[in-house]
Homo-oligomer: A and B are copies of this chain.
Amino acid sequence: MYRMHCETSRHYDVLLTPRVLDPDHGALAEAIGSRRALVVTDPTVDRLYGSPLITYLAQLPSVVTVHVADLSEHSKTMASVIDVCAAAQRHGLGRRDLLVAFGGGICCDVVSVAASLIRRGIPYICVPTTLVAQVDAGIALKGGVNFRGTKNYLGCFAPPHRVLLDPTLLRTVPAPELSSGLAEILKIALVLDARLFDRLRQVGSELLHSGFTSPPGAGEEVIEQSVRLMLDELSANCYEDAVLERLVDFGHTFSGRLEELSHYQLRHGEAVALDMALTCTLGVELGLLAERELMEVIGLLRELGLPTQSRLCTPDVLFEAMHSTTAHRDGALNLVVPTTIGKATFVRDPLDIPGEVVDRALARFATVTAHGLISTTGHGVPA
């Protein structure tokens, strides 16, 4: 009777803007313009940057309020989203007004879901304050919140209005949090760019221990390259309605389940690190990856302060995670396995990873990773 065609085309800019809170820095002022805005942040960021943030916002022509929300992985829920929606309603945001996420990945997630719901979608700006958010959670379209024990069960695809990346904010990020972000950069390097992998071997450890200030320029360079590769990879399929095969899902098959089982004691990037180590080991057992390269990966993970072993890595957990990933990916496992540093392939069928391969991989995993390891979160297994 009637075929309805629905098309939408949007774009947004991701800008590298060091010292975004300097009073004479125009990037955030320009992004907000004359619109009413609600800036959402969390208590930690508020303690560190609340004062310069409020000074900065006070000089804008528009009406801007800061909302400090209690955000942690445990409060990455619809309740937090509803809380932001209520604050937006109290602040009288119109359909073209703005939410601003000034915080880490959870802040960016909660704000994007809230923005997608308010008046059926209002614009939002991300100013990610952690490394994970600057290279992953805060730059793309996906927002998600946890629901009744399932990570990111509810969420949205909502392109931000703009993303402002300020590497100088990373000075105040604790080393374990930086490690977690470095895991996401390593993820990109491993499947897409051997040069970025080499660069991480050269400067990763120094970046980690200097709060991304040293060597000079290296922080910006690594972030820029990682973001560029990530967004290039996403752009052809940014609503994931074309295919469900995404190289950037590397490290994200077992990690969600590991996070859940650790009751979120394990940071996201730490779980991704474990997942990458596990997947590379599976890759060796499947004959896809050379053992020498697996050892290079394990070595770099350690240098970047990331765990490479955990009591949570059992055959049951691996099968459970592969099963739920297969459900999420519509019947295909689509496990991303590196074939060398900088290249990867997909293992589509769960049956291609039989029980004996998992057992052999876990045995190898225990051997190659069991050298003097105590992870920062206590999930490490000492040799």
Chain A positions within 8 Å of B, measured between CB atoms, are 1-16, 78, 82, 85-86, 89, 92, 94-96, 113, 116-121, 140-144, 147-148, 150, 152-157, 159, 165, 224, 227-228, 231, 234-235, 238-241, 244, 327-331
Q: A6-B9, A95-B329, A148-B89 are in contact. Are A157 and B120 (CB under 8 A)?
A: yes
- Report yes or no: A14 in contact with B8, Cβ–Cβ below 8 A: no
A319 CB → nearest B CB, Å: 17
Q: Return the contact of A85 from the options B1, B120, B140, B154 (Cβ within 8 A).
A: B154
A159 CA to B165 CA in the complex, in Å? 33
Q: Which residue on B lies nearest to A145, using beta carbons?
A: B117
Jot down 26 A-B pairs with beta carbons below 8 A, ordered by A: A1-B14, A1-B15, A1-B165, A1-B224, A1-B228, A2-B228, A3-B11, A3-B12, A3-B14, A4-B12, A4-B235, A4-B238, A6-B235, A8-B8, A8-B241, A85-B147, A86-B147, A86-B148, A94-B327, A94-B331, A96-B330, A116-B156, A117-B155, A119-B328, A120-B154, A120-B157
Given contact pairs A78-B82, A94-B328, A118 touches B154 in the complex (Cβ within 8 A) = yes
- Find the B residue at minimum CB distance from A13: B3
Can you name the residue of chain B whose Cβ is closest to the Cβ of A165?
Answer: B1
Closest Cβ–Cβ distance, residue A252 to chain B (whole Å): 14
Bound: A15/B1 CA distance, A = 5
Measured between alpha carbons, how far is A11 from B95 in the docked complex, in Å?
A: 26
Further contacts, 13 of them, CB under 8 A, given A4-B11, A78-B82: A1-B14, A3-B12, A4-B238, A5-B9, A5-B11, A6-B12, A6-B238, A85-B153, A95-B327, A117-B154, A119-B154, A120-B240, A121-B157
Q: Which residues of B contact A231 (CB under 8 A)?
A: 2, 4
- Most B CB contacts (10 A, CB to CB) among A14, A113, A119, A121 go to A119
Task: Decide yes or no: A92 and B327 within 8 Å by CB, A9-B6, A159-B6 being known contacts.
Answer: yes
A95 to B94 Cα, complex, angstroms: 32
With a cutoff of 8 Å between Cβ atoms, the chain B residues found around residue A142 in the complex are 120
CB distance from A287 to the nearest CB of B (A): 30
A140 to chain B, nearest CB (A): 8
Q: Which residues of B contact A147 (CB under 8 A)?
A: 85-86, 89
B7, B85, B331: the one contacting A8 at CB < 8 Å is B7
A238 to B120, CA, bound (A): 12
Known contacts: A121-B156, A156-B117. The answer to whether A9 contacts B10 by CB under 8 A is: no
Instruction: Tell me whether B1 and A16 are in contact (CB under 8 A).
Output: yes
- How many angstroms from the CA of A89 to the CA of B153 in the assembled complex? 8
Contact yes or no, B6 A10, CB < 8 A: yes
CA distance A244 to B3 in the complex (A): 23
Partner of A14, one of B4, B165, B244: B4
Q: Which residues of B contact A7 (CB under 8 A)?
A: 7-10, 238
Contacts of A118 in B (CB 8 A): 153-154
Give A90's nearest chain B residue, CB to CB: B148
Give the docked Cα–Cα distance between A7 and B239 (Å): 8
Distance in angstroms between the alpha carbons of A157 and B159 in the assembled complex: 14
Closest to A144 in B: B120
Q: How far is the CA of A330 from the CA of B34 in the complex (A)?
A: 13
